[in-house]
Amino acid sequence: MGGTINLGAGGAEPVFGADAGGNTSATLIQAPPYSTVTIQAQAAVYVFNGVAAAGSVPTERFEFAASLAQSGVTFKVGGPTPGGQVATINAALQSGTGTIYASIEPPENRGS
């Protein structure tokens, strides 16, 4: 079952996390709004948005071969979820089970 990687709790940046139970259902990655998220895995992955942890992978998704997933794929997330303090993105393995890793680079100071 896909889990949650919470990178939105603050602390030292960049922040790293992992879902050791990654599989073909959604892993929810929470990050500070407007940050850059890098997703890595040893196997092919899907990257998508708008699904709860352990939810089904939608047909609207990015698909990355294992060679790209091993190097890491990077996305910039948008604003916080409605009523929330974090932005979200999802990842899932295309087949099998394994670990999905995520890291963030915080956004530049948006107040200046």
Provide the residue range defining the domain that includes 44: 4-105
What would the DSSP string read from start to end of 22-43?
E-SSPEEEEE-TT-EEEEEESS
Is position 111 within any domain? no
Is position 56 within any domain? yes
* pLDDT score recorded for residue 84: 87
Is position 112 within any domain? no
Is position 94 within any domain? yes
Is position 110 within any domain? no
Is position 90 within any domain? yes
Is position 77 within any domain? yes
**Phi and psi at residue 71, in whole multiples of 5°?**
-80, -25
Q: Report the CATH number at residue 23.
A: 2.60.120
For tokens 């999802």, name the residue.
90
Q: How many domains does the chain have?
A: 1
pLDDT tens per residue, range 2-49: 899 999 876 656 689 999 999 999 999 999 999 999 999 999 999 999
Is position 71 within any domain? yes
**Phi and psi at residue 70, in whole multiples of 5°?**
-65, -35
pLDDT tens per residue, range 43-98: 999 999 999 999 999 999 999 999 999 999 999 999 999 988 899 999 999 999 99
What single DSSP character describes residue 54? T
